[in-house]
Amino acid sequence: MTSSNIMQAALTHFARDGYEGASLKNIADDCGIKKPSIYAHFASKEDLFMKVLQSVFQRQEERIRHYFIEHEQLPLEEQLKGCLTERQREYHEDDEAKFFLRMSFFPPNSLYNEVMGILYPFLDSQEDQLSRLLAAGCPVKGPIIRHPRQAASAFLTLMDGIDVEILYGGEERSLRRLEQAWPVYWSGVTKER
């Protein structure tokens, strides 16, 4: 049994049950080991959780970066809206996306500062990346962004609202919310060439 196998099992439990609801015994059972064997790889439940969290945030950052590289040929509006649509789909299909979103909004009280120490730099990095993308515009003809930093911040705020709807309202409501909010966001941050 490797650390990565334990982390994968832990990810599933943390995503589904939260930090407090996840049990090291259940994680160990899923790995086919005894609970004390986890301590050969991780000092504590907190240590395991933080390693999973760091790993997930790194992969999410890479996933977002890869998304924009993979879709750079699309008009900017399609890239941005597609990013939100992809996020919704992933939440319903992927434990990593579910864990990421859940811990971003509901970090364990006992590890709040540690989680925020990872979350805030992640969000700052996303805002910087989006600001550069919006400032550069898009190689495809279309509208340009008025204030890239403000547009990036507004996009992240819209994303937060969609995320809350994903968590509380479900897939159908979050998709409807995106369709209603998107035209308002886009018209507010663009101007014609």
Q: What is the pLDDT of residue 51?
A: 98
Interval 53-62 mean pLDDT: 96
- Percent of the chain residues topping a pLDDT of 90: 79
Residue scoring higher pLDDT (168 or 193): 168
Tell me the C-alpha distance between 41 and 10, whole Å: 13
Q: In CATH, what number does 1-42 get?
A: 1.10.10.60
Give Cα 157 distance to the centre of its chain: 13
Contact between residue 178 and residue 162 where contact means Cβ atoms under 8 Å apart: yes
For the chain, the structural domain boundaries read: 1-42, 56-191
Number of H helices, E strands in the chain: 9, 2
Between CA 52 and CA 96 the distance in angstroms is 10
Residue 18: partners with Cβ closer than 8 Å, 6 or more residues away: 102, 106, 108
Q: How many residues does the chain have?
A: 193
Q: What is the pTM of this model?
A: 0.88
- For domain 56-191, give the CATH number: 1.10.357.10
Across 160-166, average pLDDT: 94
Q: Within a 10 A sphere around the Cβ of 36, how many other Cβ atoms?
A: 9
